[in-house]
């Protein structure tokens, strides 16, 4: 994979629409790291033996499940495949992988590169829509386990199909991750504030098509107006809209018309009652240009009761409800009260001790205090409708 990093990155950008710089710097290197991690974990794997009493000995054997079905979405085609394949193969399983119908090609390019390393029948790829490919996999009695990453409604169906044969399921579902910015973040105009503002704009990373990125920033009332005003200045030069295969591009077009319409702030039903402002000043929030379907980064303001703060849009449109109190609040009135909870990130001036209590009380997955760093490859959890605990 390292020898063909550029070819794999181009394949992913070509079908997914993400900027090539992200695929080169993040997606493919992270996929490589994930295979390396579980190769190392495999070397350290061992069983155990314990003596219960003088007449009883317990043996613990780690054995493969058998055939596992894995269904992945379109936002990280190769990285999602690595997240699913690496641990399953390290544990000795055979895999039937179904990529998203929107991004079916890059996994086959990867498979061509590694085909001589894998025994026949160990990794199998099935293309198709959910009803014709996903449902038969999830309901098959020959499948020992199902792993699914995708939309919450589909996840419920997968669980229902698997229950017919009492098969275990792991789910990684939709998200609306809150980033909470306390007043003291803006106490000084320093590097820390710059980093907090950078964290605010992380909603646009990966075309805003990642559940753990912060699409729901919550800003404490004391510095709400000033903090938000700093991010409303035009930043077209910082994140130019252009073709995905240009290494200078930071915001590329959507992969298809349906994705463009669904994520467009002006056409999303969840956003119709929330006021919107484009960071590019008077630029329209949606435009068809340069041979692609582009969505301008857009900020919505309102309250937690609005649908835009409750529903996952998967577009560059972060809501910014202000905190209802002037003092440091607990997550209950502050954090967006959504059904999802894949991750959260309270930000406060260092030392980051103040958000510890709110972070512990927030029912979410990984909580990164004054940070949005990704979780290590061994840990991936979420909460509530984002898929329960221990998702991958």
Query: Do 365 and 382 form a contact (C-beta atoms < 8 A)?
Result: yes
In a 10 Å sphere around its CB, with 0-12 CB exposed, 13-18 middle and 19+ buried, how is residue 89 labelled? buried
Query: Do 315 and 264 form a contact (C-beta atoms < 8 A)?
Result: yes
Can you tell me which residue has the tokens 């996994």? 107
Annotated active-site residue in 12, 22, 172, 312: 172
| Secondary structure E strands in 84-229 | 94-98, 123-125, 145-149, 169-172, 178-181, 216-219
Query: Do 262 and 274 form a contact (C-beta atoms < 8 A)?
Result: no
Neighbouring CB atoms inside 10 A of 178's CB total 27
Q: In what order do the strands lie in the sheet with 123-125?
A: 123-125, 94-98, 67-71, 145-149, 169-172
Q: Which of 332, 330, 306 is nearest to 320 (CA)?
A: 306
Neighbouring CB atoms inside 10 A of 147's CB total 23
d(Cα 305, Cα 177) in Å, to the nearest integer?
16
d(Cα 83, Cα 86) in Å, to the nearest integer?
6
Peptide bond into 351 cis (omega under 30): yes
Query: Do 43 and 70 form a contact (C-beta atoms < 8 A)?
Result: no
Most distant CA pair in the chain, distance: 80
Which helix (H) or strand (E) is 288 found in, with range?
Answer: strand 286-289
In a 10 Å sphere around its CB, with 0-12 CB exposed, 13-18 middle and 19+ buried, how is residue 297 labelled? buried
- Is 172 part of the annotated catalytic residue set? yes
**Which residues are annotated as catalytic?**
172
């Amino acid at each position: 994979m390292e020898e063909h990093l550029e070819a794999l990155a181009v394949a992913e950008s070509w079908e997914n629409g993400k900027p090539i710089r992200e695929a080169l710097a993040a997606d493919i290197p992270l996929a490589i790291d994930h295979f390396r991690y579980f190769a190392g974990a495999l070397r350290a794997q061992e069983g155990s033996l314990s003596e219960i009493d003088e007449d009883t000995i317990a043996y613990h054997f780690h054995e493969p499940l058998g055939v596992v079905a894995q269904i992945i979405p379109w936002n990280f085609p190769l990285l999602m495949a690595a997240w699913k394949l690496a641990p399953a193969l390290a544990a000795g399983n055979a895999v039937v992988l179904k990529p998203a119908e929107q991004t079916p090609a890059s996994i086959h390019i990867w498979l061509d590169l590694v085909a001589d390393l894998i025994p026949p029948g160990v990794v199998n790829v099935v293309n198709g829509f959910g009803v014709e490919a996903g449902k038969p996999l999830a309901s098959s009695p020959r499948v020992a386990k199902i792993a699914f990453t995708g939309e919450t409604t589909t996840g419920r169906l997968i669980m229902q199909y698997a229950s017919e044969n009492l098969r275990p399921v792991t789910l990684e579902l939709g998200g609306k991750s809150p980033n909470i910015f306390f007043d003291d973040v803006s106490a000084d105009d320093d590097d820390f504030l710059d980093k907090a503002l950078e964290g605010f704009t992380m909603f646009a990373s990966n075309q805003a098509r990642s559940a753990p990125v912060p699409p729901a920033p919550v800003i404490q009332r004391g510095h709400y107006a000033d903090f938000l005003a700093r991010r409303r200045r035009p930043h077209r030069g910082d994140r130019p809209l252009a073709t995905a295969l240009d290494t200078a591009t930071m915001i590329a077009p959507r992969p298809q018309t349906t994705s463009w319409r669904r994520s467009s702030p002006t056409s999303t039903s969840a956003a119709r009652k929330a006021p919107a402002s484009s960071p590019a000043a008077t630029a329209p929030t949606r435009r068809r240009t340069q041979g692609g379907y582009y969505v301008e980064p857009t900020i919505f303001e309102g309250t937690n009761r609005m649908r835009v703060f409750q529903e996952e849009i998967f577009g560059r449109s972060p809501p910014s409800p202000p905190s209802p109190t002037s003092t440091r609040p607990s997550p209950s009135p502050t954090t967006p009260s959504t059904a999802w909870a894949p991750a959260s990130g309270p930000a406060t001036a260092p030392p980051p001790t103040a958000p510890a209590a709110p972070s512990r009380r927030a029912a979410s997955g990984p909580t990164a205090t004054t940070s949005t760093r990704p979780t290590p490859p061994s840990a991936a959890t979420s909460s509530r409708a984002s898929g329960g605990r221990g998702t991958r």
